[in-house]
Copies of this chain bind each other. A is one copy, B any other.
Amino acid sequence: MKFRKIVNDPVYGFITFDDELIYRVLSHPFYQRLRRIHQMALAHLVYPGAVHTRLHHSMGAYHLMSLALNELKSKGIEITADEEQAAKLAILLHDVGHGPFSHALEHVLIEDVHHEEISLLIFEQLNKEFDGALNLAISIFKGTYAKQFLHQLVSGQLDVDRMDYLTRDSYFSGVSEGVIGYDRIIKMMTVHNNELVVEEKAIYSIEKFLVARRLMYWQVYLHKTVLSAENMLVKILERARMLAKEETGSFSSSAVLDEFLRTTQPSQFIKTSLNKFCELDDYDVLSSIKKWMQHPDKVLSTLSQWLLNRTMLKTKLQMQAFSQKEIQAMQQKVQEHLSITAEEAGFFVFDGIAENRMYNPGNERINILLKDGSIKDISTIEYALIHKAIDSPIKKFYLCYPRLG
């Protein structure tokens, strides 16, 4: 009997794996690590159902890739068995380079390496283990393969990654308004000059997809309490990194996290110690935070206690930047209230920018195949909702600070 594994997925019903190489990659510790990385970092502090993992998201994106490839094949687009396997591998591994709580580590622990670069490093290491079986997948992932549409399905304005994460994040958070018509969009996909295009009658579904994404950003991913939580996490790790370098002996709860906190050249370190990177996950960070609740450093212990017990910093959101005066006044107050230094107060009071744009025609495009056979970017179609006028990014400024007294 043919090889087949079936996984229950509340979002799509069942996900089928019927290729042994793919299943071996799925079973690899590097991939299994994604079980221990939350897809939505700390959003579950606001949306308690949002505790699903990057592993689950990757499986879902893989499932949509299978649907999309079947769709294209049924329309006569040539896709070989090798290309199909490779495209599925590319999407399965697209997030494998994410570190603990994805974003926090990206900007703090690793600093100057993007998770997609790390995905590629891991991809290549796996390729060695699997004797070159991932060559084609890597080429699709990097976008160097001639059939561009395969890469666009992995990474583009309308890729299966986005379609899965919107659908899945909506399902688990319970924000039903994030629901998109992924099945309809997939049914309307086709290929023109090796590029992914979508039939004109899908236009309302795509608008719906862009509006749903906009809603998910502002209502969920950039929700002010989520912003607060994720910024607290960043501050904790920044503080930890400062202190770790000053201390000897075990600092965090795991040896490998200690190494990451102490290295002076993170981007170099990750290349030479990829296996160590692949030991890190949310558990290292959260267990360390639990440990740090007792740390003598007031900044580290206070922020750790607050985050763990969900005593969040307050967040103020507005359309204009906060004045330095306002920020400094608040820092001053906190400094006095907590008896800390001005520099330390900066860990409790800080501003930032949340930004999201609905559609970026200058960058990635959604190409529509019109009934007359011509191709247009969606933003240039006269009756479409998405016009130049509204494609500029929206910026909101936020200020975080503790509730005093």
Contacts and interface: CB of A to CB of B under 8 A. Distances in A.
Contacts of A29: 308-309
B183 A204 contact: no
A130 interface: no
A320 to B, nearest CB: 11
Given A10-B172, A32-B310, A204 B214 contact: yes
A139 interface: no
Interface in A306-344: 308-310, 319
Contacts of A218: 204
A74 interface: yes
Contacts of A36: 286
Nearest to A280: B290
A140 B366 CA distance: 47
Nearest to A59: B48
A56 B172 CA distance: 12
A174 B319 contact: no
Interface stretch (A121-129, A143-151, A236-244, A382-390): A382-390
A75 to B, nearest CB: 6
Interface stretch (A105-113, A156-164, A205-213): A205-213
Interface in A1-47: 1-2, 4, 6-11, 13-14, 18, 27, 29, 32, 35-36, 44-47
Interface in A200-229: 204-205, 207-208, 211-212, 214-215, 218-219
Q: Number of copies of this chain in the oligomer?
A: 4
Contact of A177 (B180, B214, B284): B180
B291 A2 contact: no
A405 interface: no
Interface string A367-405: 000000000000000110101011000101000000000
Nearest to A10: B174
Contact of A48 (B7, B254, B310, B387): B7
A47 B8 contact: yes
A278 to B, nearest CB: 11
A221 to B, nearest CB: 12
Contacts of A390: 385, 387, 389-390
**Most B CB atoms within 10 A — which of A35, A48, A207?**
A48
A279 B14 CA distance: 37
Interface of A: 1-2, 4, 6-11, 13-14, 18, 27, 29, 32, 35-36, 44-49, 51-53, 55-56, 59, 74-76, 171-177, 179-181, 183-184, 187, 204-205, 207-208, 211-212, 214-215, 218-219, 250, 253-255, 279, 283-284, 286-287, 290-291, 308-310, 319, 358, 382-383, 385, 387, 389-390, 394, 396
Given A6-B187, A35-B44, A208-B215, 4 more contacts: A11-B49, A44-B53, A204-B218, A319-B382
16 contacts: A2-B74, A35-B310, A49-B52, A51-B52, A177-B181, A207-B211, A207-B215, A250-B250, A254-B290, A254-B291, A283-B287, A319-B383, A358-B385, A383-B394, A389-B389, A390-B390
